[in-house]
Amino acid sequence: MSVIAADGEIHPAERALIDRFLVNEGLAPLADHEFAVHHPSAVAHLVPVARRRDVVQLMCETAAVDGMPDESERRVIRAYAAAWDVPDEIVEFWLWGYENMNTSLVRQLWMKLRRFVLSARWGDPTEPTFATKESGV
């Protein structure tokens, strides 16, 4: 629920995912007033250590269910992952996978192009770019 509350709006697909998870765990769905961002240490006692990695993965899935996770959702996920010893590389892999699963092919292409362009633009300034290699500069 912390991921859902992070961006200030509860998307119906996010709500449905959390409700299904809670019902599968034998719990009742949450009331609207129960959606809030919680610090990982405040809820750690509710999540067994063996299940924390699964919860962080579910957070990644939840963040991507309504499209591309925004930065507030990513910050919450990273906070939980860091507090619960889930490597950032795994979190990034999960986010990438769920983003691609929940987006159209056109949006996936746009995201890949954007990452390529931005990584080239913000790359190592001492590394020659394609243009400078071709022109001999």
CB 86 within 8 A of CB 56: yes
Residue closest to 101 by CA, chosen among 54, 74, 65: 65
Residue 133 lies in a domain: no
Residue 25 lies in a domain: yes
Residue 110 lies in a domain: no
Note the pTM of the prediction, 2 decimals.
Answer: 0.67
DSSP single-letter state for residue 66: T
Residue 124 lies in a domain: no
Residue 130 lies in a domain: no
Containing structural domain, residue 13: 2-103
pLDDT at 99: 81
pLDDT tens string 109-126: 665 666 666 555 554 555
Burial class (CB in 10 A: 0-12, 13-18, 19+), 30: middle
Query: Cα separation of 125 and 117, whole Å?
Result: 14
Residue 118 lies in a domain: no
| Two tokens, residue 112 | 């890949």
Residue 126 lies in a domain: no
**Sole residue written with tokens 């990438």:** 96
Residue 71 lies in a domain: yes
**Sign of torsion, CA 14 16 18 21?**
negative
pLDDT tens string 57-109: 999 988 888 777 889 999 999 999 999 999 999 999 999 888 877 666 666 56
CB 66 within 8 A of CB 45: no
Instruction: Quote the number of domains for the chain.
Output: 1
User: Within 10 Å of residue 102's Cβ, how many Cβ atoms?
Assistant: 18
